[in-house]
Amino acid sequence: MLDEREYESIAKAITSGVRSVQHARVSESRPMKKSDEGTLYAEVAARYRELTGVSDVAPREILRHRLSLVGPPCKNCGKELRTPQAKKCVECGHVRESMAARS
C-alpha cells in the first residue's frame, strides 16, 4: 500500500501516460486501441517497481494501492476495514466501537 506522498508519484505517472496516449490519438487521428494500454500504464508500473521492488502487480490494480482508500485495522481481527467509513469488518463481523455506541 502506498502513502499519499508515494501515491502522488503514481498519479503523476498515470497523468503522463494519459497525455502520451492522447497525443498519439490526436496525431494519428484515431480512437483508443488495445495497444494503448501498455503506454498508459508503463510509467505507473515502472514507478511502482521503484517504490516497492514489486513488479508482478497488474498496473490497473496499482491505482487502488492507496492507504487512504482503506480503513483502520479491525480491533478484533486486525484486518483493514474496506473503507475509512466502514462500520463493520467483513472478515469477522465486528462492529466498530464508535459506530456501535451510536446504535
Domain boundaries, the chain: 4-68, 70-103
Q: Is the pLDDT of residue 88 over 90?
A: yes
User: What does the alpha-carbon distance between residue 101 and residue 40 come to, in Å, rounded to a whole number?
Assistant: 46
Q: What's the predicted TM-score (pTM) here?
A: 0.70
Output the nine-digit C-alpha cell for 95: 462492529
Question: CA 87 from chain center: how many Å?
Answer: 22
Q: Is the pLDDT of residue 103 over 70?
A: no
Mean pLDDT of 1-29: 95
For the stretch 20-76, pLDDT in tens is: 999 999 999 999 999 899 999 999 999 999 999 999 999 889 988 888 888 889 999
